Amino acid sequence: MNGGGSQGPPQLLFAQKVSSSPLVAVPRLSRMDGWLLLATFVWGSNYGVVKFVLRELPPHGFNLLRLALASLVFLVMIWLHPRPRGGSRSFSLQDVGLLVLLAVVGQFLYQTLFIEGLARTSAANASLILATTPVAVTLTSAALGHERVGWLHWLGTALSVAGVWLVVGHGDGGAGASLAGDLLMIAATLCWTVYTVAARPLLARHPPVVVTGYSMAMGTVLYLVHRSTVLVATPWHEIGDMTWIAVIFSSVLALNFSYTVWYTAVQRLGAPRTSIYANMVPIAALVVAGLWLGEPIGWLKLTGAGLVIGGVAFTRA
């Protein structure tokens, strides 16, 4: 998601197969579509929310707080989640190794790069760069022999790269944007790509909430060990009510709620239909960043957004 980071989006956001059960027939538009619209709006808004919080909280203090809260909620969800019929919650040694990889690369490293990058660039730039994740996932899967890449995929890749080049190299930047921040977001995108591809075998054997929850909890522990001093240095008593509300939004809504909606939609509507909504995340991010944070949205950035979204659409065709 990422949305999530976004994750951030986010956000195992583009994992293709989480269930082998047949899809339930649904009308052209269902209540699930409404929930998906809300989830993508939350993910897109989260970039602006994080930028708002970083005005009052240090980046890693905020990240530790939201990850700890989201991990706790996920662990409670796992505890309450009924064991699948005929299934098992036990993890093989290979599964544990994959979980450690997901925790290190997709949680600890990704979250570190994400928050450092977003602190140094604009919300709009960050959302557009992370929106290229499906393109990177497709190319990585093809390199590993998991997918075949046709000319539409290469066209989509070229469009997305051109869009990012416009935003990062020749765009109007926007308030708080910097090349260093953009490069950190590109590195975060690569980490999320590894996370998404490496998670597929686990998602075939375990529920998404289990994979996400355990990897996030392990990654949060690593984050805490690496950044423990920030907890003492953060002036928690000076934090205002709006900042606390924003922290809850960025953890419970952007991580727990939106991921749950996304995977439920994949199971009910199918991955192709659900993945279309991911293209709306950068649009929501641009709107919120412009209206709430006052980030300038020039024609180059809008053109770049169109190229990125169009490129992602081609890679999903």
The DSSP code sequence of 255-306 is IIIHHHHHHHHHHHH-HHHHHHGGGGHHHHHHHHHHHTS-----HHHHHHHH
- Please choose, from the candidates 190, 195, 203, the residue with its C-alpha nearest in 3D space to the C-alpha of residue 164: 190
Look at residue 11 in the predicted model and tell me its pLDDT.
36
The Cα 230–Cα 235 span in angstroms is 10
Tens of pLDDT, residues 3-46: 555 544 433 333 334 444 444 444 566 788 889 889 989 999 99
- Residues in the chain predicted with pLDDT less than 50, given as ranges, are 7-26
Tens of pLDDT, residues 213-250: 999 999 999 999 999 888 888 888 888 899 999 999 99
Look at residue 21 in the predicted model and tell me its pLDDT.
42
Look at residue 250 in the predicted model and tell me its pLDDT.
95
Look at residue 187 in the predicted model and tell me its pLDDT.
96
Task: Tell me the backbone φ, ψ of residue 8, rounded to 5 degrees.
Answer: 10, -5
Specify whether the CB–CB gap between 12 and 195 falls below 8 A. Answer: yes
- Break the chain into its structural domains and give their ranges: 3-17+27-82+91-315
7-27 b/e with 16+ CB inside 10 Å = b? bbbbbbbbbbebbeeeeeeee
- Decide: helix, strand or coil at residue 172: coil
The Cα 31–Cα 258 span in angstroms is 15
